[in-house]
A and B are shown apart, each in its own frame.
Chain A
Amino acid sequence: MLLFTVRRVLWTVLVMFVITLLVFVIFFKTPGVDPARSLAGRNPSPQVLAEIRQQFGLDRPFPVQYLVMMKKLFITRDLVSYSNQGQRVFPEITAAAPATLSLVFGAAVIWVALAIAMGVAAAVLRGTILDPLLMIIALIGISMPVFWLGEVANLITQSKMHGTPLFSWVPPLGYTPLTQNPGLWFEGLLIPWLTLSVLYVGLYARVLRASLIEIGNEDYVRTARAKGLTEQRVLIRHTLRTSMITFVSLFGLDFGVLVGGGALLTEVVFGIHGVGYLTYQSLSNLDLPVIMATVVYGAFFIVLANTLVDVAYSWLDPRVRIS
């Protein structure tokens, strides 16, 4: 188990290296692009360009350029955004991360709980009208784009029905840090959580139902029944437990993508200044240092999630442990 974990961590480091290298090559070495110009943002003065060339070692060999960039990203963390009056990029991301983490964690709790409830209900109620009904609801959830759903939610809770007691508690758009006001943090995030989780509830409920039904046909589930266990125990300890292997690996990846900035649309729609929002802004301003930093940040979380999934996987499935 220890060896496995160590190997995974080394692997993660290697993957991160390759990703940063790729990102660097794309942003700095694309033919016909002057990296100094892209770093400087719109309409830079010659002095700024010269300063950037010197600072990023753009007149020096490729490996040095890469190392300088990595040093600025990870060690000195003093990469600045030129299009944004010399604002430091790293603090911007660390300031944005709590909002993204709050959004994604909350949504994840909701989507895992609801998806398990729906998936199990559909599998157990197979053969009744409720199973297809639940699956149609899930499909509708999957089909609704998050930006549209978010706008509709805003329309209802912020303007049309904000006057009614049902939604009068909904605070204006934006993010309140948990440390500042937990109540407001929760109220402000509830609608975004629900909006973001709808897609995943639908997706995961369908995946879980299929997996439960498939595993329900396994010989060892029949053995469990032949042992005289209660149906609940067969379902929870045998069918659901084994289904979790698929469920968890799927969850880890989606979670990593979302923490890494994948909740961009939700953040923009609800005005939550998280990493996704930052990415969105930097993309519209062509703010290369921020784009680079958010891409690397995103990649980092996806790779981290991947590693955690693998560790969880080996914990859930003893068959992969010994190999």
Chain B
Amino acid sequence: MGEPLLEVRDLRVSFRTDDGLVQAVNGVSFEVSEGETLGIVGESGSGKSVTMMSVMRLITDPNARFDGSVIYKGRDLMKLSKKAIREVRGAEIAMIFQDPMTSLNPVYRVGWQIAEQIRAHEPVSAHAARARAVELLSAVGIPNPEHRVEDYPHQFSGGMRQRVMIALALSCSPSLLIADEPTTALDVTIQAQILRLIKKLREETGSAIVLITHDMGVVADIADRVAVMYAGRLVEQGTKREIFYDPQHPYTWGLLGSIAHLARPRPRRLTAIPGAPPSLLALPGGCAFADRCSSRFDRCAAEFPELISRDGAADGHLDACHLTPALKRERRTAALNGDRT
């Protein structure tokens, strides 16, 4: 596939607070190839959104500090001038946010908001931009787009607003679409519609997608590759197949174990990962997951586990766990099936 479209290398993001330095993202590296869909999974506060917002340099907090590099089409986005990054935003990399209810400006018509983005990047007339907005609304499945383009965001339902957000994001045909929990704020049936729409548009436009979610079901539906994030670090990364059928990290087991399966015998209780994530103010020197891990041993607290390709896993399937391949297999079987009675 050659050069990756996006390559994040050792990204670190920290925030100065009254309580100390919060390490939100702590040395994250990954790649996204052209046309590929990468799912980034993890629980709230694991740093998924901060990572992707940093890629677009959308974090304006003056107390934030960034390190590492984000190479997009051969250019380091972290080093671009304000003007240059602005030309990337919206046109090259576009973003869909979690809450469609608050992500559109309430005082402008949706067509105007879409046209505003088009005109920020392309020298087109207001009339042409508006016509594009109508086409886009039609493409994302909004009925009666000629009229709806004149409506305000509050006149749309949640699902329809997310469609508007998608139309907005796609308006300049970006090569990379970042979708930050695009379905989390929606009803389950609407979630499925939106995911179907994203898949359909991906086929039509061929753009790469980074999908941030905490929902393994969404990842299973849409992703080619999966990166699992925990406490500001990636703990496992691989193809969807590898992550779902051959997960290496105990945290990934925990995520998979907490999914309810319709086809399997119903467990008495869904398995949950005990405890809570560590404070990002004082991360442990060793494995950040050790305190919650039932398979931990001495080495976990003593030595930081790098995210590398380890014995027992396929090439390109990376994980950050010290366990031996044999132990992993044994413990995993217990973790994924143990509590089913």
Contact = CB atoms under 8 A, between A and B. Distances in A.
B309 interface: no
A218 interface: yes
Given A219-B97, A227-B117, A126 B62 contact: yes
Contacts of B95: 223, 226
Given A126-B62, A127-B62, A219-B99, A228 B86 contact: yes
21 contacts: A126-B62, A219-B103, A220-B102, A220-B103, A220-B104, A220-B105, A220-B106, A222-B103, A223-B103, A225-B89, A227-B117, A227-B120, A228-B89, A228-B90, A228-B120, A228-B121, A229-B117, A231-B82, A237-B116, A238-B105, A242-B107
B93 to A, nearest CB: 9
B202 interface: no
A316 interface: yes
B120 A241 contact: no
B194 interface: no
B168 interface: yes
Which of A127, A219, A231, A238 has most B Cβ within 10 Å? A219
Contact of B94 (A220, A224, A226, A238): A226
Contacts of B107: 241-242, 245, 316-318
Nearest to A242: B107
B56 A230 contact: no
Nearest to B104: A220
Given A220-B104, A224-B105, A318-B152, A229 B58 contact: no
Given A228-B90, A318-B154, A223 B120 contact: no
Contacts of A219: 97, 99, 102-103
B295 to A, nearest CB: 40
A60 interface: no
Contacts of A220: 102-106
A126 B102 CA distance: 24
Contacts of B186: none
Contact of B91 (A228, A242, A319): A228
A216 B94 CA distance: 20
Interface in A228-277: 228-231, 233, 237-238, 241-242, 245
Nearest to A222: B58
Given A317-B107, A318-B107, A319-B106, A228 B97 contact: no
Interface in B127-183: 152, 154-155, 165, 168
B5 interface: no
B88 interface: yes
B87 interface: yes
* Majority secondary structure, A binding face: helix
B149 to A, nearest CB: 14
A229 B105 contact: no
Which of B56, B82, B99, B116 has most A Cβ within 10 Å? B116
Contacts, number: 76
B117 A228 contact: yes
Interface of B: 56, 58, 60, 62, 82, 86-91, 94-95, 97, 99, 102-107, 116-117, 120-121, 152, 154-155, 165, 168
A-B residue pairs, 6 tightest by C-beta: A228-B90, A228-B89, A219-B102, A227-B117, A220-B105, A127-B62
A1 to B, nearest CB: 14
B154 A319 contact: yes
Interface of A: 126-127, 216, 218-220, 222-231, 233, 237-238, 241-242, 245, 316-319, 322
A238 B105 CA distance: 7
A4 to B, nearest CB: 16
B152 A319 contact: yes
B106 A222 contact: no
Contacts of B102: 218-220
A316 B91 CA distance: 30
Which of A223, A233, A317 has most B Cβ within 10 Å? A223
A227 B168 contact: yes
Given A220-B105, A241-B107, 14 more contacts: A218-B102, A220-B104, A220-B106, A222-B103, A223-B165, A225-B89, A226-B90, A226-B95, A227-B117, A228-B89, A230-B86, A245-B107, A318-B106, A319-B106
A226 B168 CA distance: 10
Contacts of B97: 219, 222-223, 226
Contacts of B165: 223
Nearest to B109: A318
B106 A226 contact: no
A242 B106 contact: yes
B105 A223 contact: yes
Given A222-B58, A223-B97, A318-B152, A229 B86 contact: yes
Contacts of B86: 228-230
B116 A227 contact: yes
Nearest to A127: B62
